[in-house]
Every structure is written in structure tokens, then in C-alpha cells.
Amino acid sequence: MTQAGKHMAEELLAIDGVTKAYPGVVANSDVSFSITKGEIHALLGENGAGKSTLVKMIYGLVKPDSGKMTLRGQSFAPAEPRAARASGVAMVFQHFSLFEALTVAENVALGMENPPQMRALAARIKEVSEDYGLPLDPDRMVGDLSAGERQRVEIIRCLLQDPKLLIMDEPTSVLTPQEVEILFKTLRQLSAEGTAILYISHKLEEIRALCDGATILRRGKVVASCIPAEKTARELAELMVGAVLTPPARAAKKAWPETEAALEVRGLSATSPIPFGTALKEISFSVRRGEVLGIAGVAGNGQDELLLALSGELRSDPQMVLSFGKPIGALGPSERRAAGFVAAPEDRLGHAAAPDMSLMENALLSGAVRKGLTRRGFIDWGATASWAEEIVARFDVRTPGISVAARALSGGNLQKFLMGRELSQSPAVVVINQPTWGVDAAAAAFIRQEILNRAEEGAAVVVISQDLDDLLEISDRFAALNEGRLSPMRPTEGLTVDEIGLMMGGAHGMEVAHHGH
């Protein structure tokens, strides 16, 4: 169907003047747009623009304060997700809700109102997964699946309900380039069969390639709608931000005189402290002052474990991790911070931040050592508060104040705060997993620039990320983690996305291509 033909098609969902406010913030203000049958419609906007609140209203998790929604011509006001599902709305969340110790079929059954018998369900999963090019073995344990395969479980669970509208929140953030291709093929097939898809993503090139239409939100209001293929990624980003974007600039490389690497890892092997985690196998690399090493990999290939081993939460033989020639493998996180290490794990709530503590308290948790926030065993709250305020201002963290609990911030705003907290501690070594996870284009550019600034000041930086744009834009050298092993390092300049995909897939890159069995 042509673009024009699609837009003549019948309206499936109409949102009309929907408003939702929370104390201190209007999440959605008079939002109106519609999606037609079979349309792939992008919802774009910076963090805190109101995208999540809007899809939560469509999925019955949040009630609008005013305005109305209609689905297939009928008034639509789902009181809970179950009602939304019964009306034909399904959603795949950014954070998967799967039980690792259960099989694929058991997980699918848990998400259904009245699941059929296991054997019938397993047969149905096989059939649907093959019909849509997402092969899945119903008997495998979810804990043994890759991130891409876990996402398939969530998608198939939705497809078994035969949805009319499928909502996808950041669906490609955990996939290799090859897996993204597979997902897009599936979404196009669903669209051709008449299922509409509401697609949220920060990856603008993907949206240009995939989506028929787009609605752009800024600070809770609809500011534009467009056909993404007719805009450049930069034009889309500027519509979202309402300003002109400047990509990170790299100053000429300084030569730092020294003999030893700021961080050296020698034959690091470690079992994972995480259930269903990935053991690290013989990892070796070194990073000098002023250098950025980018490490790519799909979730679940040892990224979390590598960060734990570098931050000191997972200790190793002293000689496996060295800093300026000193063995530090046996030191814990506080001793490593004192030695100039800062680290930011991927898991924001619970690991990088204590959800119920205020931003000020969370600043203290990691900054006490390097920022000298304690004196003779007493906390200097004045100094802590002014540093927290400084982070909020410098990293444009949208929050009513520093006494707000970490969990009250949107994911992207908490990410900005945590990056600010680590990057403003004058580090000698920086280790970050997923620095721009869930933040919009402008914030991502700012965080990347701050990382480059630390390198320019002489820090050695390791950035672990599933976002290839992060790595290609700021790293000098590039390696990929696959099943706990690190590929040889290559200069980033001149790498192609295909080569990167194969490095990330290890030998599995080849397997993805031949999945037609």
C-alpha cells in the first residue's frame, strides 16, 4: 500500500485533547493525533516529553484527566491493561517482564488471560514464531536466551492475542544490527496484515526507515507531525528539541607522557555473581590516559560483569586489574574511587541509584570519597547539596529539586543526573555501561561531549554500550563482548556497521543469517 493509500485507510485509534498532570508537571497537555489501520506510527520526543505517560493511558495503566480516546469508532477508556488487551491493544515494554527460571511457553502462558494447555500452547508458539520470522523454542529456559530472543518471547506473547494495535517502547535498544533487520521484517509483515504499530524510539534513522507517520511531542504538547522518510534524522531531532544540534567536537589528541596504562586488564576470568549471568573469560585490554575504548555487545554477554570487575564490586586476583602499574584487582569500590576510578552501571534504579533516597543522598553515595563530603566521620550536607545542585544545573536534570527521591525522575532525567554525578568527580579512569540509555538526542550529545572532555583532561575511559552511535562517535578503539569473551581491539575509524554486527555476534553473527531452518 502506498503512503497515500495508507493514510486514506480507516482510522483505528484517535486521541483527542488528552491531558494528564502530576504534581509539579503536566505530562500531556491537550494531545491529539490518530493512527490508521496497519500504520506504523512513531512517537518522538525528548525525555520527559510525555511519551510514556501517553502510551500508559492507551494501555490502561494511567487515566487521563481530560480529553477522550476512540478505538475503532467506539469510546475507549481502559480501566486497566486487561481491558486494553481485550480491546485489541498489546504492548511490549522496554524492560522485559520475564521469569528467567521458567521456559518460553510458561512465560507466555503467564501473560495470557486464559492460556490453553501447555502442549497446544507450545505448538501455537512454534507456529506463530515461524510465521513471523522470529524462531523460538517453547521449551528453552528464558535465562538461557539472548536479549533478542527474550524480546521475541514478549512479542509472541502479544501476537497470540491477535492485537489490532501493538505498542513498542524502545524495542531495538538491546539488539544487534542483524536482529534489528529481523524485527523490522516482522513489524512490516504485521503492518501489511492490518495491525497498527505505535513505535517509540530514540533511533531516528530507524524511524525514517520503518515508520509511515510520526507525532512529535515536546514538554507534553504535540509540536509537529510528519512523514519520517521525508525528513533527515537531524531535522527530526531538531523538531524534538526545538533547537539546532551540534555534534560532539573532538579536540586534537594530546600526547600524555607515561609508560604505564591508566587501566590494564590481564587475562581476567571471573564467574558471574548474577543469576543466569555470563562468566568473563580471559579478558585482556589496556587504556591509556586520554583514550576512549568502546566496548559493544548485546545485553547478557558479560557487560554487567565487566563493569563489576572494573568498579571493584566483583574482586579478582590482584594482578588481573592494574592501574598505572599497581595491582588493584583485590580492592573494593571505595578504595578504587580513592584511586581515581568512577563507574556507572547500566541498572539505574537499585544499582546506580537508591530509588527511595533523594538526589542529594544519591550524590553522596558515590561522591563522598572523591568530593571530600565527609569530615571526621560526619557528612558535610552543605557541600553535598551544593554539588547536587551543580549536577542538576549542568546536566539539565528536570526535577522539582534535589530533595526529590531518585525514583520520581523520568528514566532519562535520572540517567543525566547519574552521568553528571560520575563525570564531575575529576576521574582518572571512567567506566560506564550504557551512558545514554533512554536519553534523547540533545542529552545524549551532551553526555558524549562530557565523556570526551574527561578524556581530554587525561582520564582513561571505557564505554560499554549497546548503542553503536555512542561508540562510533566517541571511541578511539573498539572491541565487542560476546559470551564473556572480548574480541581483538580495532581502531574505530573506518569500521562498518556490518563488521561491528559480526563482532558483536561473535560466531553468532553467521548464525543469525542462516536462521531459516
**Averaged pLDDT for residues 484-509:** 77
Q: How far apart are CA 346 and CA 95, in angstroms?
A: 12
Q: How large is the C-alpha radius of gyration of the chain?
A: 23
Residue type at position 57? M
Return the pLDDT at 298. Answer: 73
Structure confidence at residue 252 as a pLDDT band (50, 70, 90): low
What is the predicted pLDDT for the residue at 8?
57
Name the strand (E) or helix (H) holding 241.
Answer: helix 233-241
Helix ranges (DSSP H) in 287-345: 303-311, 333-338
Residue in the block written with cell 533487520: 181
- 338 CB-near residues (< 8 Å, 6+ apart): 369, 370
Mean local confidence (pLDDT), 199-211? 89
Going by C-alpha positions, the residue among 8, 3, 4, 28 that lies closest to residue 16 is: 28
pTM score, whole prediction = 0.70
What is the distance, to the nearest Å, from the Cα of residue 314 to the centroid of all Cα atoms in its chain? 23
Packing angle, helices 411-423 and 381-394, rounded to 10: 120
Strand partners, 293: 462, 477
Helix crossing, 147-159 with 177-192: angle to 10°? 10
Nearest to 433 by CA among 308, 339, 277: 308
Question: Could you give the percent of the chain with pLDDT greater than 90?
Answer: 63
**CATH 3.40.640.10 correct for 3-241:** no
Find the range with the poorest average confidence among 22-31, 193-202, 378-387, 392-401: 22-31
Cα–Cα distance measured from residue 385 to residue 179, given in angstroms and rounded to the nearest whole number: 44
Question: pLDDT digits over 160-196, tens only?
Answer: 988 999 999 888 877 777 888 889 999 999 999 999 9
State the pLDDT confidence band at 128, using cuts at 50, 70 and 90: very high
Binning pLDDT at 50, 70 and 90, where does residue 7 land?
A: very low
Q: Give the residue with greater pLDDT, 261 vs 178.
A: 261
Domain-by-domain residue ranges, the chain? 3-241, 263-513
Q: Give the pLDDT mean for 106-119.
A: 87
- Which residues, listed in sequence order, are joined to residue 478 by a DSSP beta bridge? 294, 490
Higher pLDDT pick, 509 / 248: 248
Q: Containing H/E element for 199? A: strand 196-200
Q: Which CATH number does 263-513 carry? A: 3.40.50.300
- Within 10 angstroms of residue 382's Cβ, the number of other Cβ atoms is 9
Cβ atoms of 497 and 318 within 8 Å: the answer is: no
**Per-residue confidence band for 516, with pLDDT thresholds at 50, 70 and 90:** very low
CA dist 359 to 113, 142, 383, 406, Å? 40, 35, 14, 6
Please give the Cα distance from 471 to 110 (Å, whole number): 37
Mean pLDDT of 445-470: 91
Instruction: Please tell me the distance from the alpha carbon of residue 461 to that of residue 292, in angstroms, as a whole number.
Output: 5
Domains 3-241 and 263-513 share a fold: yes
Report the C-alpha gap between 353 and 347 in whole angstroms: 8
Backbone region of residue 99 per phi and psi (left: phi > 0; alpha: psi in -120 to 50; beta: other values):
beta
Cβ burial of 34 (10 Å; 0-12, 13-18, 19+) is middle
